Amino acid sequence: MRLDIWLLVGAALVLCAIIAVRISHRIGLPSLLAYLGLGLLLGLPGIGIEFHDAELAQTLGWAALVLILVEGGLTTSWRHVKPAVPVALALATVGIGVSIAVVGVAAHWLLGLDWRLAFLLGTVLAPTDAAAVFSVLRRLPIPHRLAGILEAESGFNDAPVILIVVLLSTTDAHGPGPWLVVPLMAYELAAGAAVGLVTAWLGIFALRRAALPASGLYPIAVMSLAVGSYGAATLIHSSGFMACYLCALALGNARLPHRPATRGFAEGIAWLAQIGLFVMLGLVAEPSDLPAQVIPALVAGSVLVLVARPLSVWASTLGFGVSRKERIFLSWAGLRGAVPVVFATVPLSEGVPGADRLFALVFVIVVVFTLLQAPTLPPVARALRISAEGEAQDLDVEAAPLEQLQADLLQVRIPEDSALSGVEIFELRLPAKASITLIVRDGRSFVPGPTTVLRGGDVLLVVATADVREATERRLRAVSRRGKLAGWFGEKGD
């Protein structure tokens, strides 16, 4: 086929995928289901696109997961995730172990799989999926602590699971013995975390001092740093997934120029990665193999969702002050997505006996239980009375450096439910070296005066010298959360 035909077909597929995102968003489903269905459709005899290279699928899947994890880290609020990190780490380690054991034993006794294949099934199904969790939870009004636990867990749990999948799939007799698995995992996670954080620190140091000639270079630099941390970590045989997620998390929460533009760029790249990944996985699956796995998938998936996940949540949250209602929601919100299907390509590429059946089984489990769990999360949250529908959104602040003036230009978008609405500018009590120079309201720009009243939906242009920029942002956030008397309420805007 000629290049122009490929470009036309590719553009049509992306546009179809964008339409599928709109439809899935309205009905509360992760868009991955539409992409998987599109891949299956393209592989049917009517269209006939063949793709059966498991090794290439694994490589492309790895690359897509790196981009998805980077986007997840860049768009995650550290302020929300920080209190949840201990629980998330417990879920990503202890919880993973409990889930693998329960599903593995059940798959051996109930489905007749040999022990190796049974524990491979338990392992690839253990991690929650970052793309599915982010796409559903970020439009679900739940407390920041719960959302932080689920987001951080989905970012952390890929790293230990992939090591176990590779160890179970390899046929190398000289691989590490069972007694070395835990120390090896600890090294990979710790070294990967160190590489990611060091890379982020160096990147923050450089980007804060470099005045790049175009704003579009900042998102590229940030994405390159996060993706590069993956490669650097794997060179020293540590966890690249842990490195790129923590690097992106640190970069996304640092005071860097053009942060909203960086997040928007990362989201676009992640959407393309998701589209390509899920369509490819749909092509890898054999439609004729799927019907035979429906009953085994219902059995294994029921054990995973109703037994293994609740047990892993209970075991991981002991001593962390997690309530019974929160445990129930965490159990039901452990969404699976592309990650288990990508991990199932590892046994395929290694030629593990029964890997074809394992891939088909995982594929059906992901589709069926995503259809079951994702749409029911909002009613489950309401039934458990853990919704946080009245919680205000935080301010969206973008900064551009004005090097010659030794100042920063801040662009502040006021959410509709912000307490900034109704506040007069003089009541903000911004630092003396900061000033609101322009307001954009309903498509019209004007220069405000001291008594101009702010409204939800306004876009403010604030000029602040470098030494008061952070104090200016903190004051704006404080007033946005608690109003002009924020200081009396102890709100500092951190």
pLDDT at residue number 224: 94
* Residue 361 and residue 103 in contact, taking contact as beta carbons nearer than 8 Å: no
Burial class (CB in 10 A: 0-12, 13-18, 19+), 447: exposed
Q: What is the C-alpha separation between 126 and 366, in angstroms, rounded?
A: 12
Q: Is 137 helix (H, G, I), strand (E, B) or coil?
A: helix
Q: What is the C-alpha separation between 400 and 259, in angstroms, rounded?
A: 9
- Residue range 416-441: mean pLDDT, rounded: 88
Q: What is the C-alpha separation between 119 and 96, in angstroms, rounded?
A: 12
Burial class (CB in 10 A: 0-12, 13-18, 19+), 269: middle
Q: Is the pLDDT of residue 180 over 50?
A: yes
Q: What is the C-alpha separation between 286 and 194, in angstroms, rounded?
A: 41
User: So what CATH class is 28-383?
Assistant: mainly alpha
430, 456, 421: which is closest to 441 by C-alpha? Answer: 456
Greater confidence (138 vs 113) lies with: 113
pLDDT in tens, 9-55: 778 878 877 777 777 666 656 666 667 777 777 765 556 677 777 78
* Residue 137 and residue 333 in contact, taking contact as beta carbons nearer than 8 Å: yes
pLDDT in tens, 60-111: 888 988 998 898 888 888 877 888 889 989 998 899 999 999 999 999 999 9
Could you tell me the pLDDT band of residue 199, with boundaries at 50, 70 and 90? very high
Q: Is 455 helix (H, G, I), strand (E, B) or coil?
A: coil
Could you tell me the pLDDT band of residue 173, with boundaries at 50, 70 and 90? very low
Angle (CA) 461 463 469, round 5°: 115
pLDDT at residue number 310: 94
pLDDT in tens, 241-299: 899 999 999 998 887 877 778 888 888 898 888 888 877 877 777 777 788 889 999 99
Burial class (CB in 10 A: 0-12, 13-18, 19+), 171: exposed
Angle (CA) 390 395 399, round 5°: 170
* Residue 64 and residue 345 in contact, taking contact as beta carbons nearer than 8 Å: no
Cα dist. 358→102, 167, 292, 346 in Å? 17, 16, 12, 11
Q: Is 216 helix (H, G, I), strand (E, B) or coil?
A: coil
376, 331, 422, 378: which is closest to 128 by C-alpha? Answer: 331
Cα dist. 210→198, 240, 365, 410 in Å? 18, 27, 48, 18
Other Cβ atoms closer than 10 A to 278? 28
User: So what CATH class is 396-489?
Assistant: alpha beta
- DSSP conformation letters of 230-282: HHHHHHTTS-HHHHHHHHHHHHHTS--TTHHHHHHHHHHHHHHHHHHHHHHHH
Strand order of the β-sheet with 434-441 is: 396-402, 407-413, 459-465, 434-441, 444-446
Domains of the chain by residue range: 28-383, 396-489
pLDDT at residue number 328: 92
* Residue 348 and residue 53 in contact, taking contact as beta carbons nearer than 8 Å: no
Q: What is the C-alpha separation between 362 and 483, in angstroms, rounded?
A: 50
pTM of this prediction?
A: 0.75
Burial class (CB in 10 A: 0-12, 13-18, 19+), 346: buried
